[in-house]
Structure 1
Amino acid sequence: MRNKWRPANLYLVAVFAVLYAPIFYLMFYSFNSGGTMHGFESFTWEWYAEVFQDTRLLIIVLNTLVIALLSAAISTILGVVGALAITHVRRHRRRKALLSLNNVLIVSPDVIIGASFLILFTMIGIRLGFTSVLLSHIAFSVPIAVLMILPKLEEMSPTLVDAARDLGASRLDVLTKVILPFIRPGIFAGFFMALTYSLDDFAVTFFVTGNGYATLAVEIYSRARQGISLSINALSTLIFLFTIILVTGYYFINRRGAKQVGWEAGK
């Protein structure tokens, strides 16, 4: 019982309370029939119905999902290629340099990245809209996918590849029947993380969206500037729940991958 109330545990509870209290406050008032966030009158689904009746908003939701799925899929494929290339670099300094370059887009401020993409697209003549948003999301999702996939590649024993080659497997067979099945949990983890980052991104997307095209994050920001509307609360609640589902899926995939590795190691 004493261990449960250690200072470290109390600090952790306080941190989670500070982080999640505003979210739960927002979610609670998304069911308020009063239309304000000051006094709860009665329970209602009115604001959720308003969200689903808004045709423009549904189109923006579709745009966001298409961008997120496409960017996550493409960045995961590029992440697999990048992780394989990094593992084949033998010199420690070169590998460290490649990893540092890979992490630049992760540690760089989103405002700088967004402004850089805006300047780049303007210079090369790419019209701001679907293409510019997709390219920018792929760019900042690839390093995330690489970081998810690379540890699984480093866990794989080189003897697996050597044994496959000794048995006459071609390079394509080694890749598709040995390497990819082994790193599958990392691939799924990279896909889900890239998908989550794409859905939640605002700063970069804000710079590269054009007139007539928007994602959910940008739309919520523009609506919040116009005044308080509990439809924003309802929309934010739906996004939060969808993100929770993605994170839960990522957790179970990782857990399943760990069990599979443990089972294979015990054979």
Structure 2
Amino acid sequence: MGKKSAANIFLIFMFFILYAPIFYLIFYSFNSGGTMSGFDGFTWEWYEEIFQDTRLFIIVLNTVVIALLSALISTIIGVFGAIALRSLKQRQQQTLLALNNVLIVSPDVIIGASFLILFTFIGFQLGFYSVLLSHIAFSIPIVVLMVLPKLMEMSPSLVDAAKDLGANSWEVLTKVVLPYITPGIFAGFFMALTYSMDDFAVTFFVTGNGFTTLSVEIYSMARQGISLTINALSTILFLVTIVLVLIYYYLSQRSGVKGVNFRK
């Protein structure tokens, strides 16, 4: 057996270990028996139960609103942060980029606990806004990491040519820089959206009474015992995440710059 075949078998084995529990959960979300010990028949009952639950609909709405707002705000801040980072000297750039990357690799438990301590110390009420601010904070470094490579890739001669053609700073930003890094911006937005929708650890620390998101709700439901409603809800969340990741992958593969026009 060649090295390539052995590597392929190893990869298949690893993906099987990673995805088998997920597909097992999805499979039993259609079980009419109500347990995960034996498949009695196909049913949509557990999905119907989800869509008939008003409280669960509000939680889904909370999750979507938090994800969209945090992704939008963090994308705006992250884009301008990446542009500012690009303009710095190499040593300063590397230092700030290292600090940015530390936030990405830091355990979510530490970040969540830090925000909880901060909000408690300043007397900030836990709820919608504490979750939103936390999600914005951990999404900004992700956006910076998505946008910065496109900025590094852009030739400084594009900006110089635009200025020679009479473009002011605002026109350079809106007609040269932003169009060039648009794939990175969208990739950063969808990546932040995915992280926000999937986040549990940080949200668990900063959510308050009367407000929760899907990830925290699934955890709470799981603690009460086995229910195939959890399977159905997890399946929906998994499929939504897959769609967002596919969109991110598509946008990250895009390349090329649109034509620049400075005519008024």
Map of 1:110 onto structure 2 = 108
Provide the TM-score with structure 1 as the length reference: 0.94
Looking at structure 2, the residues matched to 3 and 138 of structure 1 have their Cα atoms a distance apart, in angstroms, of 47
Identity of aligned residues (%): 72
Map of 2:42 onto structure 1 = 43
Map of 1:58 onto structure 2 = 57
Q: Deviations over 1:224-252 (max 9, x none)?
A: 00000000000000000001111111122
Match of 1:208 among 206, 209, 213: 206
Looking at structure 2, the residues matched to 254 and 207 of structure 1 have their Cα atoms a distance apart, in angstroms, of 32
Map of 2:243 onto structure 1 = 245
Looking at structure 2, the residues matched to 23 and 215 of structure 1 have their Cα atoms a distance apart, in angstroms, of 20
Map of 1:7 onto structure 2 = 6
Alignment of 1:227-242 (within 5 A): 227-242=225-240
Provide the TM-score with structure 2 as the length reference: 0.95
Q: How big is the shift at 1:3? A: 6.8
Letter in 2 for 1:195: L
Q: Deviations over 1:12-57 (max 9, x none)?
A: 1111100000000000000000000010000000000001011100
Map of 1:28 onto structure 2 = 27
Map of 1:152 onto structure 2 = 150
Q: Structure 2: any 5+ residue segments left out of the alignment?
A: 260-264
Number of residue equivalences: 259
SS at match of 1:6: helix
Alignment of 1:106-185 (within 5 A): 106-185=104-183
Q: CA RMSD in A?
A: 1.4
Letter in 1 for 2:212: A
Looking at structure 1, the residues matched to 21 and 3 of structure 2 have their Cα atoms a distance apart, in angstroms, of 25
SS at match of 2:40: coil
Q: Structure 1: any 5+ residue segments left out of the alignment?
A: none
- Indicate whether 1:226 and 2:224 are aligned: yes
Looking at structure 2, the residues matched to 125 and 207 of structure 1 have their Cα atoms a distance apart, in angstroms, of 15
Map of 1:82 onto structure 2 = 81
Q: Deviations over 1:63-87 (max 9, x none)?
A: 0000000000000001101100110
- Indicate whether 1:73 and 2:72 are aligned: yes
